[in-house]
Structure 1
Amino acid sequence: MRQLPASCYRLQLRGGMDFEAATGVLPYLGGLGISHLYLSPVFAAQPGSSHGYDVIDPTAIDPELGGREGFGRLAAAARAHEIGIVLDIVPNHMAFTLDNPWLRDLLANGDASRYRAHFDIAPDRRLMLPMLQAPFEEVLRDGGIAVEMDEAGAVLVHGPLRVPLDARTLPETLPRPDDHAAIRALHDRQFWRLCHWRAERDAITHRRFFSISGLIGMRIEDRAVFEDTHRLIFDLCDSGAVDGLRVDHVDGLADPGEYLARLRDRLPETPVWVEKIIAPGESLPDWPIAGTTGYVLARDLAQVLTSESGARRIDDFYRRVTDRRAAFGEVVERAKRMMLETELAAELWRLQAMVAKAAAVDPVASEYGPETWRRAIIGLITHLDRYRTYLGGGAVRPEDEAALREAASAAAAQDGGRRALDFIVDRLLDVEADADLPRRFQQVSGAVMAKGQEDTAFYRHNALISANEVGAEPSMPAIDAARFHAQMQARARDMPHGLSLTSSHDTKRSEDARARIIALSHHPDAAEALFDAASDVSGAGRVDPNLRWYLAQSLWAMLPGGEGSEALETRLCDHATKAMREAKDGTTWQDPDAEYEGTVLDYARALVPAFDPPPAETDPAARTAARLSLAQLALKLTVPGIPDIYQGCEIGNYRLTDPDNRAPVDFARLAAALEDAGTLASGADRQKFDLTRGLLMLRRDDPALFRDGDYRPDDDAPGGTVGFRRVFGDRALRVLVAAPAPLDARALDPREGEARIWPPPDAAISDAAAAIFLRR
């Protein structure tokens, strides 16, 4: 196995950050103590892509970033600075666009295409292209469709769309623009069918990434597809340019375990981390990986820093002022059901057809009609307590069977239909039956959970939104120190080399914005004052109290960012638009309500000056938040796992979900801080920078202590603190964290044989959130 990272620094490419710019950041990262650069996808993506997950050619490095030569120069420079590279790869999907050469080949050649088996497409229907603003027949009737020749052959043209036509289907003479019958007949002979974009909900014929029709699923389970899509990845790893891989959305794959085994067989020395959200009570299958990307650790850190009593009080207040009485689990169930019946209706239809086909040969199940199967599928997926199970490829894990049986029982208790539910579960668990049904069911259940919980319920249930985080559980926002220690001991045993993140391109809030909201749990009076102040703003009465409270928390989280009011207003309004449409309660992405949104945005604009300054009652919470940020950082960099520093988070970062979290980072300013931390504007930034750098340097200098060291709770830690030791041989690191009050001065005294490394000897210690001691 190649050397594991001591730490990673996530750099988001694009938006001005290409390979040349990334090369310029390397000296700074080396000075910060980073061992590995962690890059977002580098493969050729949709022109103008802002993120790189919409790959159009996995065999090429994106020329917009600098191409293969540019990446080679970056890799060589990284090696010169003794920095490795971890690369984000996207095996689950590609961009569903005419810029995708593999897709164009499929459209032009149909079943004869070399890439027919590469894409996950319904085998018995034409490939739907939901790219029109109206039904095909209407566009044709209005003269909007023509047939032309270009350098590659004949194409069907509609505005900028130029869709390849199968040469085998062409008449001797191309149809005239006004010969609608001939154009229609030619269109009907294609492997594909152009249609209205609204048809994507229930007529789409390709597997999507969640409900995004612009991303098409890949059949990575096919060995040839695996080899074609990973050829460049293998080359980069074999050449030494890439030292580790992060697998995006592993739950979308047909058989994640089989995929990861193939990856390990081909790259036995390359560590692999998977993006996997682990539900409470769920355990990972025995996969050949270094670990996950770290959402669970982010949840653990937020929970141990949150006041349970304060969170309960805020929850009671929230329900009183918003009249939202449903438990979070109920909100999720309703959202999952809605997603299956609307945005993922095509996936539901396909599952229903598969179940009905299996039932047709069963003497009892064959009596049930389509509505019975539809309700049973919805109930089972709605009540499943995790993203997916891992059936296929052998014996059924007891955990997976239990999860499905429990979901069936919950669905039956709510809506009846026990026999139908049991039939579906039995078919899913039958290792001798056709594997297509469990494969598709598991891919759909993950998409439903992601869209129902992360992208809907997290914007509907807004009691304390620091708990509305990827991988978190809003119904359990807090844990005590004893449970935290138990979870860290399990992490040291089961996933000692997993990544440890607190911010990423996918988190709903950056770490310091989250800490600001967590601080409200320690000061529930401040939370109530914040809501009251938000309710006094002009236009508040026209905005639902639930959304009003969401926006108040969001703005409070953003406030230390240092922007002017105009920039803050723009950011809040952009986020408010996204939050409203994700909640799907009054407006949606598909059908935006301009009047509804305009009312909310007017209120959001008025909220910004009203919170300048914020209510005086929130001042204690602001001071607590600053300590929580440092406490969170100290834990992240010392508990079992490999720290993942998201770009710009070595100082205070008060960003919300994407695209807000992809803002450019002033690396020149950060590099200057290596020589003089006084170049940073605030004392909080300097403290966070110094603590980050100090612990990263320690991890780089003594990797065994953190990679292999035991995790031992410190039984002598003062009450109200979280204390533990990392022990390896005769070396030990002792960590003590307090929340919300600062550490007592006596807690800062080293024990015999120890040296205090934080706070530094010359630092003021009256407000210390963490103390760290080293014994060598």
Structure 2
Amino acid sequence: MTLPSACYRLQFRGGMDLDRAAGLAPYLRELGVSHLYASPLFTAQEGSTHGYDVTDPTEIDPALGGRAALERLSEALKSEGLGLILDIVPNHLAFSVETPWLRDVLRHGRDSRFARHFDIDPGAERIRLPWLGAPFETLLAEGTFRVDDDPDGPVLDTGGLRVPLGACDALDRARGGDAAAIRALHAAQPWRLVHWRTESDRISHRRFFSITGLIGVRVEDPDVFEDTHRLIFDLVDTGIVDGIRIDHIDGLLDPAGYLARLRARVGDTPIWVEKILAGREMPPEDWPIQGTTGYVAARAFGRLLTRGAGLERIEARYRAATGRTDAFHDVMGRLRRLVMTGELAAELWTLHAQLSEIAARDPAGAELGPESLREALLAFIGAFPRYRTYMTAEAVSETDAAIVRLTAARAAETLDDPGALEFLEGVLLRQDAASAPFRLRLQQVTGAAVAKSQEDTAFFREVRLLSINEVGGEPDDDPSGIEGFHRAMARRVEHMPHGLTLTSSHDTKRSEDARMRIAAITHAPEAFEAWHRICAGFAPEGLDPNVVWYVAQTFLALDERDGDLAERLSAHVVKALREAKSETSWTAPDLDIEERAQDYVRRLARHFPRHAPEVDRIVGIADRMSLVQATLKLTAPGIPDIYQGTEFAFRALTDPDNRKPVDFDARQAALGGRMDGLAELDRQKFDLTQRLLYARRRHAALFHAGTYEPLPAPEDTCAFRRSHGDATLGVAVRVDFSGEAAALPDLAGAEVTRATLDGEVVARVTLAG
């Protein structure tokens, strides 16, 4: 197996296609990475900005250049000695008439050869299509529908969307536009068009989280597995792809079974999975993978670089300014319920129906009413401590059984009568065929409940410190301290030494340097308090103080040199308000509240940062912390994933802000030493990144298999040694910037690099042997 020394993540689409990427191969080699790490390249929906809405997994997207352009990219990479890691999406396809397999199912129903490919409720008489802007009968009365023909057969034109039609007696009569004939035609189809607002109440297919536009794929079926992976297997077999990243592994029915089949098919090709780990959780030991995509590492760096005493002062000020006093655990319980009865109400309905059917057949559950079963489900999901368990149809491991029991015990504290919960616990722990479908489906729903309530809601409500509100983190995370960081790295060496290490991605809520701008306030809380007072002074009457606190931190995360500050922030504040779901939301937007917040942000932007010297100290500390974080990422256990553009300082908010085009001309110029016009942080970060990437490439065994040993150091410094054979790496970084700096300790070996800002050395790396 050939492991990367480091990879470089490119987001395709939005101006980046395969031929343009091929032109970057010499730059990537000179930068020092060993692999290009590509976002999904399969044919996706027209206009897709990210590629995760795949319509045809058997084809490289013509919009990116198609298979021929991919082969040219492969040749360009190989000529520079580089490999290719490809992001694949086995969990779902686009729920769209653009998806050929789904078109066939819509036309032929259960007779389609692709009917078994999609995770559609077998009890549903018809596939629900929540694609209408109004109820079917309303649009029918308005004369919206008409029958037409596409190259693959007749379609029902809904006023822009053209849905495939199956043959039936009413087809010819409906061509004349008669409403009764169109109604009869619609009733005869294997699908049913409904108003989009009904999608949260009832659906007939498994979704990706709450996104109805993505339909689950049954890769647990061997034939479906082969059909959906035919192209990736060919790319691996022909040497075009050298590594695989699995998107959303927790969405699959049987992740372990899937990975076993994939490993058997791709041999020793490295595999990484996108998985969010809670607390000290590690991937199951029987998964044949190199590791996860690296959010656990980003969390470790963030907890190290957050100063405990400063966070205590920030939190006290936050509570006083906003009046928010609830414990995060209590908030999360309420938000899980909010999500499950709102965005995921359709999933709750399905689980409730399954559990009710089991109860009706079981003497122990026959007397339980529907409401008690529903409340038991809500309490259990509300108390669940991680994304999911990994029970199978045949077995429940001791680890998973313990999680079920713990969750049930916590959930019982929220119920007056735990009888239904006890029944639910018993059903989950049974190892019988009758309960297996419910058990397996519940596992696919808990991850969605956690993600939607935490990452997409709590992260925008509980905002004491936004730098820890990150994918894989917890809003109530406490700083780890240096000893806690050392323990985390020791676990990583033991359990996941070849996992990826990321600090920015297309999914992070804030990019790596934006997070450091915010984490820096824990090192200078008095400066942030002064800045917050300024922000509060600009706030209009009636604006939620929690929004003011959020905005004060968000301004710090960006820099006016990075683009139109006012417009980027005004767009972001709307997204943040809707995600929080406190006063406005995506499905019920309050435009007055949103416009007031946008106006506030624009007025504040005219003041920031030219008239805010309070910010200067925070920015100075943050720049140093960015260099420390980059040093840790490139030297700690794991394989660094360099997100596009982050070899310079990169300050971005959540998507689409984090997918903005990268100025590769400036970065290529920097390789030749032409750094005129670059900020000092850009220069320092680029030089540090390139030097450490070169060291990783020259000493691959040290970085892949090296031990991890803490070194003694001053209390504001984290130092460690990594060894393999005769080679030794020494690392020392400053992690507390609240006072005067102590000198970094001496390290054995020749200096590889040092990070220095304004004469202060904040990181040193040495190599010996």
Name the TM-score, length of structure 2 as normaliser: 0.97
DSSP-derived class of the 1:679 partner? coil
Runs of at least 5 residues in structure 1 that lack an aligned partner in the other structure: none
DSSP-derived class of the 2:702 partner? helix
Q: CA deviation at 1:745?
A: 7.2
Letter of the aligned partner of 1:725 in structure 2? R
Matches within 5 A, 1:362-381: 362-381=362-381
2:90 pairs with 1:91? yes
**2:48 alignment partner in structure 1:** 49
1:749 and 1:680 mapped to 2: Cα distance? 34
2:337 and 2:608 mapped to 1: Cα distance? 38
**1:518 alignment partner in structure 2:** 519
Matches within 5 A, 1:384-463: 384-392=384-392, 394-434=394-434, 435-463=436-464
Moved more, 246-255 or 170-179: 170-179
Q: CA deviation at 1:614?
A: 5.5
Going from structure 1 to structure 2, the CA distance change for 1:163 and 1:750 (only over 3 Å counts) comes to closer
Residue deviations 1:704-756 (CA, integer Å, cap 9, x gap): 01001101111x222221110010111101100112339967536444xx212
Pick from 722, 727, 736 the counterpart of residue 732 of structure 2.
736
DSSP-derived class of the 1:541 partner? coil
DSSP-derived class of the 2:173 partner? coil
Whether the aligned pair in 1 keeps the contact of 2:171 and 2:185 (CA below 8 Å) is no
2:611 and 2:753 mapped to 1: Cα distance? 32
Q: CA deviation at 1:57?
A: 0.2
**1:246 alignment partner in structure 2:** 245
Pick from 578, 589, 607 the counterpart of residue 586 of structure 2.
589
Whether the aligned pair in 1 keeps the contact of 2:170 and 2:181 (CA below 8 Å) is no
Letter of the aligned partner of 1:111 in structure 2? R
Pick from 646, 652, 657 the counterpart of residue 654 of structure 2.
657
Residue deviations 1:163-204 (CA, integer Å, cap 9, x gap): 11112x244733255422221111111110001000101121
DSSP-derived class of the 2:521 partner? helix
Q: CA deviation at 1:282?
A: 2.3
Q: CA deviation at 1:551?
A: 1.1
**2:753 alignment partner in structure 1:** 758
Letter of the aligned partner of 2:516 in structure 1? A
Q: CA deviation at 1:483?
A: 1.3
Going from structure 1 to structure 2, the CA distance change for 1:551 and 1:746 (only over 3 Å counts) comes to closer
Q: CA deviation at 1:330?
A: 2.0
Whether the aligned pair in 1 keeps the contact of 2:577 and 2:585 (CA below 8 Å) is yes
Residue deviations 1:90-126 (CA, integer Å, cap 9, x gap): 0000001111111100000001001101111111211
2:493 and 2:403 mapped to 1: Cα distance? 26
DSSP-derived class of the 1:50 partner? coil
Q: CA deviation at 1:433?
A: 3.3
**1:136 alignment partner in structure 2:** 136
Moved more, 581-590 or 230-239: 581-590
Residue deviations 1:374-396 (CA, integer Å, cap 9, x gap): 11111100110111111115542
Going from structure 1 to structure 2, the CA distance change for 1:393 and 1:698 (only over 3 Å counts) comes to farther
Matches within 5 A, 1:2-151: 3-125=2-124, 126-151=126-151
Residue deviations 1:248-276 (CA, integer Å, cap 9, x gap): 00000001111001100111121100000
Q: How many corresponding residue pairs?
A: 765
1:746 and 1:313 mapped to 2: Cα distance? 27
**2:300 alignment partner in structure 1:** 300
Letter of the aligned partner of 1:664 in structure 2? P
Letter of the aligned partner of 2:5 in structure 1? A
1:468 and 1:614 mapped to 2: Cα distance? 28
**2:668 alignment partner in structure 1:** 671
Q: CA deviation at 1:141?
A: 1.4
Q: CA deviation at 1:528?
A: 1.1
1:275 and 1:774 mapped to 2: Cα distance? 32
Letter of the aligned partner of 1:238 in structure 2? D
Q: CA deviation at 1:335?
A: 1.4
**1:161 alignment partner in structure 2:** 161
Matches within 5 A, 1:345-744: 345-392=345-392, 394-434=394-434, 435-537=436-538, 539-559=539-559, 562-563=561-562, 567-613=564-610, 615-679=612-676, 681-714=678-711, 716-741=712-737
Whether the aligned pair in 1 keeps the contact of 2:609 and 2:615 (CA below 8 Å) is no
2:309 pairs with 1:309? yes
Letter of the aligned partner of 1:79 in structure 2? K
DSSP-derived class of the 2:267 partner? coil
2:146 and 2:627 mapped to 1: Cα distance? 62
Whether the aligned pair in 2 keeps the contact of 1:145 and 1:177 (CA below 8 Å) is no
Letter of the aligned partner of 1:106 in structure 2? V
Moved more, 307-316 or 609-618: 609-618
DSSP-derived class of the 1:688 partner? helix
Runs of at least 5 residues in structure 2 that lack an aligned partner in the other structure: none
2:768 pairs with 1:772? no
2:574 and 2:8 mapped to 1: Cα distance? 30
Matches within 5 A, 1:249-328: 249-286=248-285, 287-328=287-328
Letter of the aligned partner of 2:147 in structure 1? V
Letter of the aligned partner of 2:476 in structure 1? S
Q: CA deviation at 1:677?
A: 4.9
Q: CA deviation at 1:284?
A: 1.8
Letter of the aligned partner of 1:759 in structure 2? R
Residue deviations 1:621-642 (CA, integer Å, cap 9, x gap): 2211111101111111111100
Q: CA deviation at 1:20?
A: 0.8
1:143 and 1:766 mapped to 2: Cα distance? 74
Residue deviations 1:640-698 (CA, integer Å, cap 9, x gap): 10000000000101101100000000111100101115235111110000000000000
Going from structure 1 to structure 2, the CA distance change for 1:351 and 1:745 (only over 3 Å counts) comes to closer
Letter of the aligned partner of 1:770 in structure 2? A
DSSP-derived class of the 2:385 partner? coil
Whether the aligned pair in 2 keeps the contact of 1:467 and 1:473 (CA below 8 Å) is yes
Q: CA deviation at 1:620?
A: 2.0
1:632 and 1:265 mapped to 2: Cα distance? 37
Whether the aligned pair in 2 keeps the contact of 1:534 and 1:540 (CA below 8 Å) is no
Residue deviations 1:15-68 (CA, integer Å, cap 9, x gap): 000001101111111100010000000000001100000000000000000000
DSSP-derived class of the 1:698 partner? helix
Moved more, 676-685 or 275-284: 676-685
